[in-house]
Amino acid sequence: MSVLHDEASAGAAAGYRPHATLSVWTELRRQASRRRTQLALGFMVVLPLIVLAAFQFGGNGDEDNGRGEFGSLVEMATSGGLNFTLFSIFVSASFLLVVIVALFCGDTVASEASWGSLRYLLAIPVPRARLLAVKLVVALAYSVLALLLLAGTALLVGTLRYGWSPLRSTIAAEIPAGEGVLRLLGILGYLAVMLMIVAGLAFLLSVSTDAALGAVGGAVLLWILSSILDQITALGALRDFLPTHYSTAWLGLLSTPIQTDDIVRGCISAICYATLFWSLAFWRFTRKDVVS
Amino acid sequence: MTRRRVVTGSVLLALLVGAVVWAVWPESKAYTAEERMITVRSGPGGDEPVDLDTTFYLPKEAGPGRKVPAVLLAHGFGGTKRTVRTDAEDLAGIGYAVLTFTARGFGRSGGQIHLDHPDYEVRDAQRLLDWLAARPEIRTDAAGDPRVGVVGGSYGGGLALLLAAQDKRVDAIVPMITWNDLARAFLPESTGGQPVNGVLKKGWAGLFFGSGSAGPGGIGGFGNLGTPEPPGVDPGAAGGGAGAPPSPAPTGSPAPGVRPPSPAPPASPGATAPPGRVVPPGNRGVDPQCGRFAREVCEAYLQIGATGRGTEEAVALLRRSSPAGVLDRIKAPTLLIQGAADTLFPLAEADANARGIAANGTPVRVAWFTGGHDGGSGPDSDRDRLKYLTAQWLGHYVKGEGPEPDRSFTWSRIAGFNALDRGLVATGYSTADYPGLAGRATQGVIVGGQPQSIANPPAGNPAAISSLPMAQGLSSLLDGIAGDLAGQHARFDSQPLDRPVDVVGAPTVTIRAASPTGEAVLFVKLYDVDPQGGSTLSSGLIAPVRLTGLPTDIAQARPITVTLPAIVQRVEAGNRLRVVVATADQGFATPSEPAVYTVGLGDGNTATVALPTVPGDPIATPGVLWRWVLFGLLVAIAVGLALVLLVVRRRHRRTDTSVTPEYADTPLVVRNLRKEYADGFVAVSHVDFTVDRGQVVGLLGPNGAGKTTTLRVLMGLTQPSAGEIYVFGRRLVPGSPVLSRIGALVEGPGFLPHLSGLENLRSYWRATGRSLEDAHFEEALEIAGLGESVHRKIKTYSHGMKQRLAIAQAMLGLPELLVLDEPTDGLDPPQIAEMRRVLKRYATGGRAVLVSSHLLAEVEQTCTHAVVVNKGAIVASGPVAELVGESPSVHLDVSDVEAAQRVLERLAGVRTTATEGGTGLVVDIDGRQRSEVVAELVHAGIAVDRVMPRRRLEDAFLALVGESSRGSGDR
């Protein structure tokens, strides 16, 4: 009987170390083999191509987009690779990315529970906090990857089709291409921070239910509810506390000089919500009876 | 849902609802509002009665015992008392009694418009001060002298200045976006010329006049009480209201060809009010030419408007309505607020007021903001700043609270768009005192260019559009639509700036001009041109000049210094400055005779644009604070996370890792196990058993006996309520490392459906983090016996195949204790037989197996030992052989079952049960000898074909758990 007698793995089987179980790499491969991961990431690549095709075949509609100063994002989408990327982000930020992040973070634990494989992971035993941490890291990694894939593909095809030119918008002077890339990265960073709220909510629901659909759908529904409430100006200052209230503050990064006040407040809001949701998720999962 | 969850959910819901209700609950008003018509007597003789429509806002705490200071709040041109309601409410909210009134000639008030005439409007206001002094709730300085501040914007601001000059009872004034010299405002001349030589600002003049006349299509009528309040009325909605700027008649737009967009920040009441408001019945027969204007005012306008030139009489009339001549009589501390986006009353007006009032030693403070008659009330940061400044000013000089405000000068500059509400964002700055329009320092930028010939169009048409009154933010857009017209303007550009310049004040430039007539009206503009060629004219402000005595040849022209309008603008590095001299502009009246002028720069082919600058400290906004909050939050989270990790690690270290010696070599010891679920259901009440090396132990019980719950606890999936489990002497808790020595199949297989069987096993083993050699895949796969199917995806598997794969997964790594929950579920008989052999073989060599089942046969045939549980408790345990040995029954095949039953029932304690098929009989012999029973039957003449001792566990099971397991529930 070769039992390791170090403290962490007292009495364990040969080769078992708690911190070596379910490595991030293992979990990445587990998730990568899933069709929904492949489809979601694939769609991030395909979307800019579809948008590009739509611009190619769609002709020149000269309707007023009616979105005020920012409506120009649509009109300027074909002015260069950076603007095309900006447009792709603009159209996906409010819903598509929310669904994608909710999918990655909401499905991860709930689907294991519904397959029954969760209890075998826990019986290995993968420590619960570790299981959750690895799951979360991997889900976030895929979310970030999706974001980068979308922006990267859009930048690539947009630049190939429309050329490499400064970032334009009517709310500020042209931004040189080099700085434009930095602004785009800033926008992506802010979006990533805002999407942490969805990630947190979906993850909390994921450890609370065995139905993956419930976790993903629940997170998206609550996000939509918050967006609707945010439209009701009668709520006054209460709207500032809605998780979606600052979701479009990244537009401030397009102006010169950049407007960071709302971005900072949005970050505070997002970090508070994400911390709350993730803390609850860990607190719950490390105590709950896994009976699925 | 358990009761606890219901309670938690209800509490959360209640909190949420409470928060929403608290947020949207209408605040109880802290004041009362009382509407009344006050009749005052004014006019040159003080005997002409006029009814003024007023609203008196009184804080609730005010009374004869507790007197409050007052504020007289005046509205802008074309507005009524209703347009300043929000400001009145704000002021009432901070403890002032506020009297708002509709000026004579507007709304429901009577009388005619005399343009803040000292004998009319100003005297009206004096009578209102009398009225305030008579109110018992108003604090007074002396009998008939109320403690009062006067606040107003535009027309109201002019009234505040004129009233303070005429009436010493006024304690402080806050005039906003108002004029110093009305003649200069309408007839400006930027080389220092007098208004009689000024260039008529016809666009604004038309609006001003139009909103005061009540003719058809005019607007200045009735703020009829039924209409909803137009939104966002007040530029500089400082706690002291700002009046509405003169309402533009939609029909009176000076540029009918250009559709004025609705400005993003609310601009004015008139801009959103429906055209052609109701005219009071009494005024229906009003003069179509003059409307509600007093005759003399009307005639002055008609005169100026017809010729485009000021006359001495008209200028004198406008001067009478201007504070310019009476500033030395103003003793009330004055807070002057002026907007940078204001082509009607530019910053220079406030500058003249500030210098004139300060010259007598009266305290003056100046603040600029980014709004104005064109720019509206400005962004939130501006509104907040002005509100604060107003409250501070009134607080000290009227209410007598707070320290004396300093004289620091604050201003702001548009910094961009707000992404959330699509409004503008301004950055505020402050400096110790007011520097005037010349700034603290001057930076020269050289512009160059040859003299150019430019044409004056006949009747000033077509003409450039530099600004549309009230249509803020449009100037940059106009550049592409109707900016400078070809042939009508000369351009002089600078080199790109090598560093940014923050212009605060009025730039100057020198030009030369030649005209065949000796005269010229020109417009000098200063553009900021970015590297892409986009040009910006700050707030659409331009400098009109009327030059006389010009030579016909540019070579003989003398340089003339033009003072451009004061602006607040940052010119970025890399941008150029461009001086444009143009001949015509939509906003101004120009000579109707066509002519060609030649214009050049003052200094040969160059000129220096002197840009005034003021170094200022940025005013801290809440944004900075939020940045610190964000930083603090991140630090707090990092510290919190570190603490949690520390606590977890310490707790982990404290966990019992000791080995209980007596169990050290025992694969499994379960002691006093109890599991009670959150809803109070006791699944396992008391379970004790031991699994020793080499044993195959069967956990036998009917459905719901508590077997699965026991195994869940054993696998660390659920927490036991009480009791301990030891695995090889180590206490087992969820996640114990010792769990790695247990292989398990609990509650059915659990695989990733999209992977093949083999990939699933590999993926599972990778998750253990143990080395691949330890896995013994070959043995496991052999046990699974799936053949080539192991490469197919799990979702194509039958239940039995999954079951076999799950058993193989449990055996990966050949764990020392194998725990299988209903392992033969879904297997066919040969596989069951094979499984039995596998399990028996597995237990040899020191390993142990725990099998749960509700099938007796399986346990009897597979296990060496059995533990029988029922209703959450153990009813028997021991070697299967021993358990079976206790069987008290025998199976008899007899010739006559009924007779045999009758015979045997005579024996005390013997019970019989007939089996199906007719000849079988199960007899509980109650400890008697089998031979005795047989003898009894034979004796009674019943043939006994077969006597079969019941060695099956079935009897033991039934005997131990009782006949029925109904009602035990699902455990």
Write out the DSSP string of B83-146: GGHHHHHHHHHTT-EEEEEPPTTSTT--S-B-SS-TTTHHHHHHHHHHHHHHSTTB-EEETTEE
Return d(Cα A282, Cα A261) in angstroms, integer. Answer: 32
Q: Say whether A264 and B634 touch across the interface (CB within 8 A).
A: no
Q: Say whether B715 and A252 touch across the interface (CB within 8 A).
A: no
Return d(Cα B675, Cα A134) in angstroms, integer. Answer: 30
Q: Which two tokens stand for residue B469?
A: 């009154």
Amino acid identity, residue A188?
Answer: L
Q: Which two tokens stand for residue B583?
A: 């001949």
Q: What are the angstrom distances between the C-alpha of B20 and each of A219, B16, B26, B217?
A: 21, 6, 12, 46
Strand partners, B447: B494, B607
Q: DSSP secondary structure string, B457-502?
A: PGGG-S-B----TT-TT-HHHHHHHHSSPTTSEEEEEEPPPSS-EE
Collapsed DSSP state (helix, strand, coil) of residue B6: helix
Q: Is it true that the peptide bond before B462 is cis, omega within 30 degrees of 0?
A: yes
What is the structure's pLDDT at B475? 42
User: Across chain B, which distance is largest between two alpha carbons, in Å?
Assistant: 160
Encode pLDDT of B549-558 as tens digits.
Answer: 889 888 888 9
Q: Which two tokens stand for residue B157?
A: 């601001």
Return d(Cα B641, Cα B628) in angstroms, integer. Answer: 20
Return d(Cα B632, Cα B618) in angstroms, integer. Answer: 23
Give the closest of B657, B715, B741 to A119, CB-based.
B715
Q: Say whether B769 and A115 touch across the interface (CB within 8 A).
A: no
Return d(Cα B944, Cα B896) in angstroms, integer. Answer: 9
What is the structure's pLDDT at A8? 52
Amino acid identity, residue B198?
Answer: G
Domains and CATH numbers, chain B: 29-253+264-433 (3.40.50.1820), 441-618 (2.60.120.260), 661-883 (3.40.50.300), 888-950 (3.30.70)
Looking at the predicted structure, is the pLDDT value of residue B217 above 90? no
C-beta of residue B883 within 8 angstroms of C-beta of residue B856: no
Whether residue A129 lies within 8 A of chain B, CB to CB, comes out as yes
Q: Taking CA B445 as the corner, what is the angle to CA B442 and CA B450, rounded to the nearest 5 degrees?
A: 140
Encode pLDDT of B621-655 as tens digits.
Answer: 777 788 899 999 999 999 999 999 999 888 877 77
B208 or B611: whose pLDDT is higher?
B611
> At residue B600, what are phi and psi to the nearest 5 degrees?
-145, 180
Least confident piece of the model among A1-5, B255-259, B276-280: B255-259
What is the structure's pLDDT at B299? 87
Amino acid identity, residue B468?
Answer: L
Q: Taking CA A96 as the corner, what is the angle to CA A95 and CA A97, rounded to the nearest 5 degrees?
A: 95
Least confident piece of the model among B67-81, B456-470, B587-601: B456-470
What is the structure's pLDDT at B235? 38
What is the structure's pLDDT at A188? 95
Residue B500 has, within 13 A of its CA and on its CB side, a CA count of 8
Nearest to B93 by CA among B125, B118, B132, B61: B61
ipTM of the complex: 0.88
- Rg of chain B over all Cα atoms, to the nearest angstrom: 49
Looking at the predicted structure, is the pLDDT value of residue B847 above 70? yes
What is the structure's pLDDT at B828? 87
| Average pLDDT of span B145-159 | 92
The residue to which tokens 């209903």 are assigned: B822
E strand spans, B763-861: 817-821, 848-853
Whether residue A20 lies within 8 A of chain B, CB to CB, comes out as yes
Question: From the CA of A56, how many Å to the nearest CA of chain B?
Answer: 27
Looking at the predicted structure, is the pLDDT value of residue B231 above 70? no
C-beta of residue B81 within 8 angstroms of C-beta of residue B102: yes
Q: What are the angstrom distances between the C-alpha of B230 and each of A68, B343, B470, B472, B485?
A: 22, 23, 15, 18, 37
Q: Is B289 left (phi over 0), alpha (psi -120 to 50) or beta?
A: alpha
The three-state (H, E, C) secondary structure of chain A, written as one string: CCCECCCCCCCECCCCCHHHCCCHHHHHHHHHCCHHHHHHHHHHHHHHHHHHHHHHHCCCCCCCCCCHHHHHHHHCHHHCHHHHHHHHHHHHHCCHHHHHHHHHHHHHHHHHHHHCHHHHHHHCCCCHHHHHHHHHHHHHHHHHHHHHHHHHHHHHHHHHHHCCCCEEECCEEEECHHHHHHHHHHHHHHHHHHHHHHHHHHHHHHHHCCCHHHHHHHHHHHHHHHHHHHHCHHHHHHHHHCCCCCCCHHHHHHCCCCCCHHHHHHHHHHHHHHHHHHHHHHHHHCCCCCCC
Task: Give just the sign of the alpha carbon dihedral B313, B314, B318, B321.
Answer: positive
Q: Are strands B817-821 and B742-745 parallel, antiparallel or unpaired?
A: parallel
**CB atoms closer than 10 angstroms to residue B667:** 29
- What are the start-end ranges of the H helices in B167-221? 182-186, 202-210
Whether residue A272 lies within 8 A of chain B, CB to CB, comes out as yes
Return d(Cα B766, Cα B669) in angstroms, integer. Answer: 29
Tell which B residues from 520 to 559 touch A, by Cβ distance under 8 Å.
530, 532, 534
Contacts for B929 with CB less than 8 Å, ≥ 6 apart:
none
Least confident piece of the model among B115-129, B283-297, B416-430, B460-474: B460-474
Q: Which two tokens stand for residue B961?
A: 């758990």
Question: From the CA of B750, how many Å to the nearest CA of chain A?
Answer: 4
Q: Taking CA B524 as the corner, what is the angle to CA B518 and CA B527, rounded to the nearest 5 degrees?
A: 155
Nearest to B397 by CA among B364, B369, B366: B364
- What are the start-end ranges of the H helices in B308-454? 312-320, 347-358, 380-394
Nearest to B744 by CA among A119, A2, A10: A119
Give the closest of A16, A128, A289 to B770, CB-based.
A16
What is the structure's pLDDT at B286? 64
C-beta of residue B514 within 8 angstroms of C-beta of residue B557: yes
Tell me which chain A residues have a C-beta less than 8 angstroms from the C-beta of B19.
238
Q: Which two tokens stand for residue B50?
A: 């006029």
Q: Say whether A125 and B746 touch across the interface (CB within 8 A).
A: no
| Average pLDDT of span B584-590 | 87
C-beta of residue B346 within 8 angstroms of C-beta of residue B333: no
Looking at the predicted structure, is the pLDDT value of residue B353 above 50? yes
Least confident piece of the model among B722-726, B734-738, B812-816: B734-738
Q: Which two tokens stand for residue B813?
A: 């790594």
Least confident piece of the model among A10-24, B277-291, B389-403, B544-558: B277-291
**CB atoms closer than 10 angstroms to residue B126:** 19
At B965, the pLDDT band (50, 70, 90 cuts) reads very low
What is the structure's pLDDT at B810? 92
Least confident piece of the model among B28-32, B268-272, B414-418, B957-961: B268-272
C-beta of residue B374 within 8 angstroms of C-beta of residue B469: yes
What is the structure's pLDDT at B214? 43
The secondary element (H helix, E strand) that includes residue B447 is strand B441-448
Whether residue A174 lies within 8 A of chain B, CB to CB, comes out as yes
What is the structure's pLDDT at B296? 87
Sheet of strand B170-176: strand arrangement: B31-42, B48-59, B97-101, B70-74, B148-153, B170-176, B334-339, B364-369, B409-417, B424-431, B617-618
The secondary element (H helix, E strand) that includes residue B758 is helix B757-768
What is the structure's pLDDT at B968? 41
Q: Say whether B630 and A256 touch across the interface (CB within 8 A).
A: no
Q: Which two tokens stand for residue B684?
A: 């396992």
Question: From the CA of B796, how many Å to the nearest CA of chain A?
Answer: 14
Looking at the predicted structure, is the pLDDT value of residue B150 above 80? yes
What is the structure's pLDDT at B332? 92
Nearest to B347 by CA among B436, B244, B412: B436
Collapsed DSSP state (helix, strand, coil) of residue B356: helix
Q: How large a percentage of chain B has pLDDT more than 90?
A: 31
What is the structure's pLDDT at A46? 95
- Rg of chain A over all Cα atoms, to the nearest angstrom: 22
C-beta of residue B360 within 8 angstroms of C-beta of residue B330: yes
Would you write out chain A's pLDDT as a tens digit for each of its 292 residues? Answer: 333 444 455 677 888 888 888 999 999 999 999 999 999 999 999 999 999 998 887 655 444 444 444 555 667 788 888 999 999 998 898 899 999 999 999 999 999 999 999 999 998 889 999 999 999 999 999 999 999 999 999 999 999 998 888 887 766 667 888 888 999 999 999 999 999 999 999 999 999 988 989 999 999 999 999 999 988 888 777 888 899 999 888 888 887 777 788 899 999 999 999 999 999 999 999 888 887 6
C-beta of residue B824 within 8 angstroms of C-beta of residue B858: yes
Looking at the predicted structure, is the pLDDT value of residue B888 above 80? no
Q: Is it true that the peptide bond before B59 is cis, omega within 30 degrees of 0?
A: no
At B278, the pLDDT band (50, 70, 90 cuts) reads very low
Most confident of A97-111, B709-723, B769-783: A97-111
Whether residue A94 lies within 8 A of chain B, CB to CB, comes out as no
Q: Say whether B20 and A69 touch across the interface (CB within 8 A).
A: no
Q: Say whether A123 and B813 touch across the interface (CB within 8 A).
A: no
B737 or A153: whose pLDDT is higher?
A153
Q: Which two tokens stand for residue B953?
A: 């566990």
Strand partners, B731: B726
Q: Say whether B657 and A10 touch across the interface (CB within 8 A).
A: yes
Q: Say whether B621 and A289 touch across the interface (CB within 8 A).
A: no
Q: What are the angstrom distances between the C-alpha of B477 and each of A171, B260, B426, B465?
A: 11, 11, 20, 11
